[in-house]
Amino acid sequence: MTSTKKGAARYHTFTESSPDSMMIVEESGRFIAMNASARNMLGYSREEIGELDLDVIGARSIRNRLPEFRRIGRVRAEGTLVRKDGNTVAAVFNTAAMGDGTFQFVLGQAADKRFSDETVIEAVPLPFIELDLSSRYMGVKSLNRQARSLCGKAKGADCVGKSLTELLGVAESEVKHLVDAARACRGGVVSRTWIIKVGGRPERFFKTHLKLLGQAEDPTSGALLSLCDVTDEAFVQKELSAALKEKTLLLKEEQHRIKNNLGLLVSMLSLQRGELSDPRCAEQLREAQSRIQTIALMHEQLAASLEVKKNLELSAFVGDLVRTIERTYLSEDAAIRIDTSVEALVLDAKRAAAIGLIVNELITNALKHAFAGRSSGTVWVNAEKIDGNLRLTVADDGDGLPSGFDWRRSGGLGFKFIDMLSQQLSATVAVENEHGFKLSLRLKI
């Protein structure tokens, strides 16, 4: 439930039966709530409240002054109101700017002198405390019945002059920081969350709003403090944080387990490959190892994340992948190099895995076939974001494909694999076969 709705519910509970005419109004002037006395005074039913604003009842001048009321904090203003039947009534608005962006009105006829600033603050359904900032300890100047109840005091006289540290157990430094923040923002409303424990009662979490009264630079100005109990929300957030932490640990453990199992499978294939006498079969096992290693790298990247993620940072993933391919296919003194230029893009794990497998197929294919009979060569891997699309390019300066070669129809298993993965990504593929082989892949991200 939003704070506005909570405020309306509390307003109804505390004020519906009050003989005073009371209402809550938004900054725009729209009515949120109006008690029975106010409805009778203006001639409107409960169902009509949502259609009313200050302009409708002839209080445009009051509505125009709401920003001023917020700056002052508490104010008494007079105006002429229009009832539903068209008759007018002179009224006095005793107004308090509440911390949640609304205004509390206690309304009386102009001839009625019994309304005062204390009346409107007393009627506010949240704890309100006025502070005297001229005192060393920023003592309490006045407070309403909700604040007295929070402090565990029956009478305001038991609270006046005392500090919030004495009444609510709030550290003096926290109060000072809140006041300093209000002054720094030139008198605007500032908020903090305080833990309050009074007497032997359990500690509660309160969202506090503080508004300076008067000029921000005036050290003797007062301040109005409102408090809203958010203990239930705080405990929910704490439980969610604990659940998220547990989920993170479980996910990390799962990714580690998958990576280790895939690593075991790679080792088994390596042992099996060492026992084969057929070079073609051995090469096919090495290709299978490389593909499995690509998937294992993806799970290693996921396990390394500090948060629960299903995304991968592409630059780190491709960088690790290229280093693994170099260890598998190139000797330390090889003159063939792999040059990578990959932007720091974040992709979901599914698409990152598909791109990693495509990169693996293209690089390994180049290392096996592009530089036949040559001692040197270069493979380039580039990935960048252009106009909301990812453009991936893998190219080499090798011999290229034979003239008229259709890589989709005539290519081997690796090219068929690339075609299948690109379709899964809904990506467009372009191939160039001049001065080496170049494949470019573009997909929406």
Task: Give the Å distances, CA to CA, from 221 to 35, 213, 215, 281.
Answer: 33, 6, 7, 87
- Asked if 394 and 443 sit in the same domain, the reply is yes
163 CB-contact burial (10 Å; exposed 0-12 / middle 13-18 / buried 19+): middle
- Asked if 112 and 190 sit in the same domain, the reply is no
pLDDT in tens, 92-104: 878 877 767 788 8
Domain-terminating residue out of 93, 123, 153: 123
- Asked if 13 and 57 sit in the same domain, the reply is yes
Torsion of CA 396, 397, 403, 404, to 10 degrees: 20
Contact yes or no for 344/376 (Cβ under 8 A): no
Which residues does 247 contact at the CB level (< 8 Å), separation at least 6?
A: 308
pLDDT higher than 70, residue 9: no
Answer whether residue 240 is part of any domain.
no
- Asked if 104 and 158 sit in the same domain, the reply is no
Look up the CATH number of the domain holding residue 133. Answer: 3.30.450.20
pLDDT in tens, 248-278: 676 677 766 777 777 777 777 777 777 778 8
Answer whether residue 285 is part of any domain.
no
Which residues does 421 contact at the CB level (< 8 Å), separation at least 6?
A: 354, 357, 358
How many CB atoms neighbour CB 294 within 10 A? 23
For residue 144, the model assigns a pLDDT of 85
- Asked if 149 and 180 sit in the same domain, the reply is yes
Q: What is the DSSP string of 320-374?
A: HHHHHHHHHH--TT-EEEEEEEE---EEEHHHHHHHHHHHHHHHHHIIIIITTT-
Answer whether residue 174 is part of any domain.
yes
1 CB-contact burial (10 Å; exposed 0-12 / middle 13-18 / buried 19+): exposed
How far is the C-alpha of 294 from the C-alpha of 352, rounded, in Å?
10
Supply the angle between the helices 349-365 and 314-329 in degrees, to the nearest 10: 30
Find the mean pLDDT for residues 400-427: 83
Residue 52 CA to chain centroid, in angstroms?
A: 34
- Asked if 68 and 137 sit in the same domain, the reply is no
Task: Give the Å distances, CA to CA, from 441 to 179, 222, 384, 436.
Answer: 57, 65, 11, 17
Domain-terminating residue out of 72, 105, 123: 123
Answer whether residue 142 is part of any domain.
yes
Contact yes or no for 205/168 (Cβ under 8 A): no
Categorize the per-residue pLDDT at 378 as very low, low, confident or very high, splitting at 50, 70 and 90: very high
pLDDT higher than 60, residue 309: no
- Asked if 74 and 139 sit in the same domain, the reply is no
Q: What is the DSSP string of 171-205?
A: -HHHHHHHHHHHHHTTT--EEEEEEE--TTSPPEE
Report the range out of 82-86, 152-156, 388-392 with the highest average pLDDT: 388-392
For residue 310, the model assigns a pLDDT of 65
How far is the C-alpha of 389 from the C-alpha of 424, rounded, in Å?
16
The domain of 172 spans 128-229
Answer whether residue 293 is part of any domain.
no
Q: What is the DSSP string of 401-445?
A: PPTT--TTTT--HHHHHHHHHHHHTT-EEEEE-SSS-EEEEEEE-
pLDDT higher than 50, residue 323: yes
Query: Which one is predicted more confidently, 191 or 242?
Result: 191
- Asked if 361 and 378 sit in the same domain, the reply is yes
- Asked if 397 and 442 sit in the same domain, the reply is yes
Answer whether residue 242 is part of any domain.
no
For residue 233, the model assigns a pLDDT of 79
pTM of structure:
0.44
Domain-terminating residue out of 209, 229, 249: 229
- Asked if 432 and 359 sit in the same domain, the reply is yes
pLDDT higher than 70, residue 115: no
- Asked if 160 and 220 sit in the same domain, the reply is yes
Considering its fold, how many domains does the chain have in total?
3
Q: What is the CA radius of gyration of the chain?
A: 36
Question: Would the CA dihedral through 50, 51, 57, 62 be positive or negative?
Answer: positive
How far is the C-alpha of 21 from the C-alpha of 291, rounded, in Å?
76
How far is the C-alpha of 94 from the C-alpha of 25, rounded, in Å?
13
- Asked if 21 and 105 sit in the same domain, the reply is yes
Look up the CATH number of the domain holding residue 389. Answer: 3.30.565.10
Answer whether residue 270 is part of any domain.
no
Answer whether residue 276 is part of any domain.
no
